[in-house]
Structures are given as C-alpha cells and as structure tokens.
C-alpha cells in the first residue's frame, strides 16, 4: 500500500476547497483533510491593538492536531472511510494507492508538515480579485471593516514571501484567476504523473 500526500495551499478564496472536492471525485481512493477544521474557537484567537481577530496566522490553528490527523490517515488510509470505488478510466494497478489532499491557506510554513508532502501546490490571486471574492463570502465571525487590508492580505504576503525565500521548498504556484476547468485539468494530470512514479 502506498500513500500520496498532496498539499493544496494558497490565498484565501483562491478555489482550494472546490478544486479539492472535484479532484476527490476524479482520483482513486482519495480523501481530503481541510485546515479550516482546525481553527481554534474565537475565544482562543488573539486580538491585535486594532481589534482585529488574528485568524490568518498559525497560532489561530490547532496545527499539532492537524499533523496528528494526517499521520493517522497515513497509517491507515483504508480505515479512514475513504470510498474505494474506482473512478472512470483509472487503471487496476492504482488500487493499492491512497491519495490524501490537504487543503488550507497555511500549509507550508509549519515545519512538522514539511516532510509529508509529495506535491505542493499554491494558488495565487491578485489583490483586487482576492478582495472582490472575499467580500462575497460570509464568515463566522464576520470580517470587520478594514480586516482584509489590515490583516488577511498582509499575512498572505508575509507567508508567501517566506515560501519564496525558502529555496529548498519546491512549490508549484498556480494562477487562481484561471478557470476551474483549466486548473483541475492541470492538477489532475500532474497528480496522475506522480501516481505513475509511485508505481514504478
């Protein structure tokens, strides 16, 4: 049995969750862990001097629990309830390969996760498009006025810069303004290549 752990990270509202869900239906034995499921309750998230809740930082997440969940899945992917129906056109020799897609906005800046990835993808968006998409979403708690410019976007740039400065980290940057179909097609063929390498 082999496992493939794929990181689908990047900017808020970049399309990570939608892409992960669509890939799950296309790939054999595929499961998803979402970073959003590991946010601390609002009462435990720090507030800065401007009154902004600091959600877009590692401290706002139970990262150790997330790492544990990924390790548990890797130890026993078949027991995770992953559906093993074969999607169309998948070869028989992929039956013993399990794929985990981990999707979230802060995946590659946390050291304990970095030895787990087989592939790292990072969705980017220009400022205006990201702000426009973010404004159409309803969050709990809701974004306060100025929150995007005061916290969300600066943190995205900070963490993205950290990644770009880390020469040892191979990250595949994807343009989130491209159509879902185009992104999906690219991701799917890239992951299938990775699966074929595992089989060799």
Query: Where in the sequence numbering do the catalytic residues fall?
Result: 36
Q: In whole angstroms, how far apart are CA 93 and each of 2, 10, 52, 97?
A: 11, 32, 51, 8
How far is residue 71's CA from residue 77's CA, in Å, rounded to a whole number?
10
What span, in angstroms and rounded, lies between the C-alpha atoms of 53 and 153? Answer: 14
Query: Contact 78/1 with Cβ under 8 angstroms?
Result: yes
Question: Who contacts 200 (Cβ-Cβ below 8 Å, separation ≥6)?
Answer: none
Question: Which token pair is 105?
Answer: 């906005």
Q: How many CA atoms lie within 13 A of 67 on its CB side?
A: 14
In angstroms, the CA 108 to CA 7 distance is 8
């Amino acid at each position: 049995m082999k496992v493939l752990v794929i990181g689908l990270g990047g900017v808020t509202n970049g399309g990570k969750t939608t892409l992960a869900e669509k890939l799950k239906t296309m790939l054999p034995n595929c499961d998803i862990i979402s970073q959003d499921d590991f946010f601390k309750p609002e009462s435990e998230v720090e507030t800065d001097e401007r009154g902004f809740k600091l959600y877009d930082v590692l401290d706002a997440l139970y990262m150790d629990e997330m790492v544990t969940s990924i390790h548990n899945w890797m130890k026993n992917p078949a027991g995770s309830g992953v559906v093993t129906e074969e999607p169309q056109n998948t070869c028989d020799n992929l039956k013993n390969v399990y794929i985990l897609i981990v999707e979230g906005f802060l995946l590659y800046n946390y050291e304990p996760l970095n030895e787990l990835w087989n592939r790292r993808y990072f969705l980017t968006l220009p400022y205006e498009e990201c702000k426009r998409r973010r404004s159409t979403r309803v969050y709990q708690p809701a974004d306060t006025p100025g929150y995007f410019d005061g916290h969300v976007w600066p943190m995205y740039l900070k963490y993205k810069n950290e990644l770009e400065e880390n020469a040892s980290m191979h990250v595949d940057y994807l343009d989130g303004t491209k159509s879902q179909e185009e992104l999906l097609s690219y991701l799917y063929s890239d992951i299938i290549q990775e699966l074929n390498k595992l089989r060799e």
